[in-house]
Chains A and B, each alone.
Chain A
């Protein structure tokens, strides 16, 4: 596709359920990022992929959060046993190469609401 695609755009789930968020990066982009953004807040780094390896998982808030990426393609962020504090917009971004340009392209995000 032309841009980064995330699905679902909105997700309402009950506390304690597992959710899976999907990100389709721009074709050919090697770097992929996940961020969490609470209402009125900044971008909280979660995890970064270079290809299908994750050099930095330091932002994952707890062991309930995990992410994987298939090759240089789709990534999924899984949150197990969701809690109300997990409610936020989850943003995915991809970037064409490691050093050049500094430009990351963001998807529209998945708005997660845990009730």
Chain B
């Protein structure tokens, strides 16, 4: 089966850099995705790593290491609006492509 683990909450200050880790146990997956969800809103896609390495999209970067079963989301120049829940997700190969989410990390950005 598949399982993904993330810290339940992280707190950081405005302007800082924060890293949200995701470790997983899976027998095969297409790639690691990250989603952002604000209170009362729907999850929105942030980034996707199909291959090992770093993907950068503006202030957000995501990293994947398949050999270490590990990935992370890096948020730079934190802003108050970045306060939200962040979910990592994998699309499982041997379960017909089911998209499986971690339990989410609640990020609080303080002034």
Contacts and interface: CB of A to CB of B under 8 A. Distances in A.
Contacts of B91: 98-99, 102
A106 B97 contact: no
A50 B97 contact: yes
A24 to B, nearest CB: 14
A26 to B, nearest CB: 13
Given A50-B97, A55-B98, A43 B45 contact: no
Contact of B42 (A42, A45, A99, A106): A106
A53 to B, nearest CB: 9
Given A48-B97, A56-B96, A108-B42, A103 B48 contact: yes
B96 A43 contact: no
Interface in B30-86: 30-33, 35, 41-45, 48, 50
Given A99-B91, A106-B44, A45 B97 contact: no
A41 B31 CA distance: 23
B87 interface: yes
Contacts of B89: 102, 104
Nearest to A53: B96
Nearest to A91: B42
Given A103-B45, A105-B45, A95 B99 contact: yes
Interface of B: 30-33, 35, 41-45, 48, 50, 87, 89, 91, 95-104
Closest 9 CB pairs of A and B: A55-B96, A102-B48, A42-B103, A106-B42, A102-B33, A43-B101, A98-B97, A103-B45, A102-B31
28 contacts: A31-B97, A31-B99, A33-B98, A45-B99, A45-B101, A50-B96, A50-B97, A55-B96, A55-B97, A55-B98, A56-B98, A91-B43, A93-B99, A95-B99, A98-B97, A101-B48, A102-B33, A102-B48, A102-B50, A103-B45, A103-B48, A104-B35, A104-B45, A104-B99, A106-B42, A106-B43, A106-B44, A108-B41
Interface of A: 31, 33, 35, 41-43, 45, 48, 50, 55-56, 91, 93, 95, 98-99, 101-109
